[in-house]
Amino acid sequence: MSILSNVIDTVKEILAVAQSTATGMSVTLSHIPTRKATVSYPDEPVTIFRRFRGEHFLDVNEDGKEKCVSCFLCAAACPADAIYIEGAEDPRPYEERISMDHRYAKVYQIDYGRCILCGFCVDACPTDAIIHGHNFEWAVYTPGEMVKDKEFLLANKWREPDVKPNEKQKHLAAKQKLPPLNIILK
């Protein structure tokens, strides 16, 4: 009698395991025909929303003059104390100036070890000089490498997918080792 009872228990256990395996497999199989959510980045481009706040770039106007006039409003607005600026005067005529004004940023740095991507600096800028780009690849080996300087931030614009850099601008990006971003903006 006890042998029969043991056999019945074992059969019940086998049926229970088979049933839960079948339930699990049915969930797995039901997802196979749906579109996959993963992307083999960087072999395939990844889709990013336009409103995504990534690494910044410093912009220039249509004459190639830096838009930053060293007013320090972005640094004052930054809650993380991530922006460092040294301003300077450039009294030369407009055609020869570095920026579109007689003031320019001799030094402009953002420390991405501190930046929280809040966008306050972008909102505070009266000349639209500082803009959020879409780069999200920030892995570096040392904290010092997280501090990005003016040359880097100026070149960072020319890797965005919806700008068309000329040869000089492409050279600026290449000099900073900034390949075009492998992203699709949505």
Residues near ligand SF4, by CB under 6 A: 68-74, 77-78, 80, 82-83, 85, 105, 110, 115-121, 124-125, 127, 129-130
- What would the two tokens of residue 118 be? 């809040």
As measured in angstroms, the least distance from the Cβ of 81 to ligand SF4 is 8
Residue 99 vs 169, nearer CB to ligand SF4: 99
Residue 148 vs 159, nearer CB to ligand SF4: 148
| Encoded amino acid at 25, one letter | M
As measured in angstroms, the least distance from the Cβ of 146 to ligand SF4 is 12
Q: Distance between CA atoms of 130 and 28, rounded to whole angstroms? A: 46
As measured in angstroms, the least distance from the Cβ of 131 to ligand SF4 is 9
Cβ-contact 114, 82 below 8 angstroms: yes
**β partners of residue 130:** 58
Q: Distance between CA atoms of 186 and 184, rounded to whole angstroms? A: 6
Residue 115 vs 181, nearer CB to ligand SF4: 115
Residue 153 vs 173, nearer CB to ligand SF4: 153
Q: Among all chains, which residue has been given the structure tokens 């969930």?
A: 27
As measured in angstroms, the least distance from the Cβ of 58 to ligand SF4 is 7
Residue 41 vs 72, nearer CB to ligand SF4: 72
As measured in angstroms, the least distance from the Cβ of 85 to ligand SF4 is 6
Q: Distance between CA atoms of 63 and 163, rounded to whole angstroms? A: 16
Within the chain, what is the greatest distance between any pair of CA atoms? 107
Tell me how crowded residue 54 is: count the other CB atoms within 10 A of its CB.
18
